[in-house]
Structure 1
Amino acid sequence: MHVQNARRWAPRGTRAWLVAAAALAVACDVRMLLHPFIGPFLPGTAFCIAASLVEYFFGLAPALAVMLLGLGIADYLFVPPYAAITVFNQADVVLLISYPLVTLLVIVLIERLRRSQFRAELIASVAQSRYEMLLRHDNERMLARRAIDETHRLLRHLSHHHRTFIFIQALERDALQPADDLKQHSVLPRLPNEIAPGPRFADVDPDDIQRLGKALRPGTHRVRLKTGDGASKLTECVCERFTTHAGDFLVLRIGA
């Protein structure tokens, strides 16, 4: 899989160049400390290591700068005759051929490794993002299907128990507005916005309506229901909860 941004793995800014300059200085100091012991042997090794480390952490451009500057410093300070630029001998030729080849080979391999690593991280990040999108999509589809099923169940419930239906209470404000065709407005208690009355609403004692409107929950409830002779009778009622696409509703009806 081709990823164009794979070559942009290295951090940018002045920090990379400052670290490259520091690595070059450290490599030069280390080589000067070792010079009394090893003489002109391997004059560019310290700079090759410095360029490789800079490449691994900060990318190709700072590493090439360290390599080129290190080549000049190594040839000037650590290849005999020391500190002389007028003499060009076999030692200079060996350094000019071996040091750039080895350093470039190491730098290129590290660059390919870092690009492959960054490309793998990008692909993993994209795959994770797509996986999360699929999970959200599946979750939304499952919730939508559940809401549709609950809506159908609510409709079947209302059609089956329409004669014993007292009221519906919406758990979300303004999800259900009160009906406008109520009779005997002066007799019925004032309803909150989330309650819609049913056919048996007027038969329930107003105090029970107020009580249930504030603390209704799924389960069984006992309310005072008017009978044909005008008396009140304690009656078992059932409250069920339905989750639909329009919100959550509690349906209170008469019956066990």
Structure 2
Amino acid sequence: MEVQNARRWAPRGKQAWLAVAAALAIASGVRLLLHPLIGPFMPGTAFCIAASLVEYYFGLAPALTVMLLGLGIADYLFVPPYATIDVFDREDVILLVSYPLVTLLVIVLLERLRRAQFRAELIASVAQSRYEMLLRHDNERMLARRAVDETHRLLRHLSHHHRTFILIQALERNALHQADDIKLQGTLPRLPNEIAPGPRFAEVHPEDIQRLSNALWPGGHRVRLRNGDGRSRLTECVCERFTTHAGDFLVLRIGT
């Protein structure tokens, strides 16, 4: 995978150049402290380390700046004759060859490693996003399959209990959750009364029809049904919930 933004891993702004100034100041200070002990030996080592650290945290341009400015400071302060630019001898040539060569090698390797690291992080982030998308699609597919299975179960239920079927009520998606909350508080829930009558609907007492249209939820119910002689008797009924792709439904039938 080609990642164009891998070259832009380093932070930008004033912070990088403040780090350049701080790295040069610290490297110069450390080298000045060590100068009485080591003299002109390895004059550019501190600046090479500073350039490498700046490269790791802030990128190529600030590191090259530290390298070039560090080369001038090291040649001026730590290569004899000190604090003069009139003399150009063998020590100056050694510094001008060895210091940039070693520092550039380290900087280039660090730059490649940082770009590879940033590229791997970008690819991992893209892979994580795609994985989450696949999970959402799988969840949606499972919900759709569950809704289809529930629809088939509803149809089988209606055909099997056709002779005991009283009514079916369509609900909003969150209606039953609201009903459960209200039941816990001790009051009767009021649900949307979109009711489709069944074969036994006409036998139900009108007061029970009114009560069921306002307070129907899954579970057992006692309903007054008229007999052939016109009298009413209490009958145990069962209400079941079905969640389909078209919505939620409550089906009330005579218990068997």
Instruction: Give 2:113's aligned residue.
Output: 113
Q: CA deviation at 1:84?
A: 0.8
CA distance in 1, matches of 2:104, 2:41: 20
Instruction: Give 2:192's aligned residue.
Output: 193
Give the aligned CA root-mean-square deviation in angstroms. Answer: 2.1
Mapping of residues 66-105 of structure 1, within 5 Å: 66-105=66-105
Instruction: Return closer, same or farther for 1:174/1:93 CA change in 2, 3 Å cut-off.
Output: closer
Contact 1:174 1:193 in 2 (8 A): no
CA distance in 2, matches of 1:93, 1:57: 30
Contact 1:173 1:193 in 2 (8 A): no
Instruction: Give 2:234's aligned residue.
Output: 234
Instruction: Return closer, same or farther for 1:118/1:91 CA change in 2, 3 Å cut-off.
Output: same
Instruction: Give 1:126's aligned residue.
Output: 126
Instruction: Return closer, same or farther for 1:75/1:240 CA change in 2, 3 Å cut-off.
Output: same
Contact 2:76 2:82 in 1 (8 A): yes
Q: How big is each residue's C-alpha offset from its partner over 1:126-150, in whole Å with a ceiling of 9 and x where there is no partner? A: 1111111111111111111111111
Q: SS at 1:223's partner residue?
A: strand
Matched, 1:204 2:204: yes
CA distance in 1, matches of 2:147, 2:224: 33
Q: Structure 1: which amino acid aligns with 2:230?
A: G
Q: Compute the TM-score of the two structures, normalised by the length of structure 2.
A: 0.87
Q: SS at 1:11's partner residue?
A: coil
Q: How big is each residue's C-alpha offset from its partner over 1:54-83, in whole Å with a ceiling of 9 and x where there is no partner? A: 111111111111111111111111111111
CA distance in 2, matches of 1:229, 1:36: 122
Instruction: Give 2:184's aligned residue.
Output: none
Q: SS at 2:162's partner residue?
A: coil
Q: CA deviation at 1:13?
A: 1.3
Q: SS at 2:163's partner residue?
A: coil
Gaps of 5+ in 1: 176-190
Q: CA deviation at 1:195?
A: 3.0
Q: SS at 1:43's partner residue?
A: coil
Identity level (%): 81
Choose 126-135 or 100-109, whichever is displaced more: 126-135
Q: How big is each residue's C-alpha offset from its partner over 1:130-172, in whole Å with a ceiling of 9 and x where there is no partner? A: 1111111111111111111111221222233333322223341
Gaps of 5+ in 2: 176-189
Q: Compute the TM-score of the two structures, normalised by the length of structure 1.
A: 0.87
Instruction: Give 1:46's aligned residue.
Output: 46
Contact 1:172 1:194 in 2 (8 A): no
Q: SS at 1:87's partner residue?
A: coil
Choose 156-165 or 131-140, whichever is displaced more: 156-165
Q: How big is each residue's C-alpha offset from its partner over 1:177-235, in whole Å with a ceiling of 9 and x where there is no partner? A: xxxxxxxxxxxxxx963431312334323443444445533333221222233322111
Instruction: Give 1:18's aligned residue.
Output: 18
Higher helix share: 2
Choose 115-124 or 199-208, whichever is displaced more: 199-208
Instruction: Return closer, same or farther for 1:133/1:48 CA change in 2, 3 Å cut-off.
Output: same
Instruction: Return closer, same or farther for 1:45/1:221 CA change in 2, 3 Å cut-off.
Output: same
Contact 2:147 2:244 in 1 (8 A): yes
CA distance in 1, matches of 2:161, 2:236: 15
Q: CA deviation at 1:39?
A: 0.9
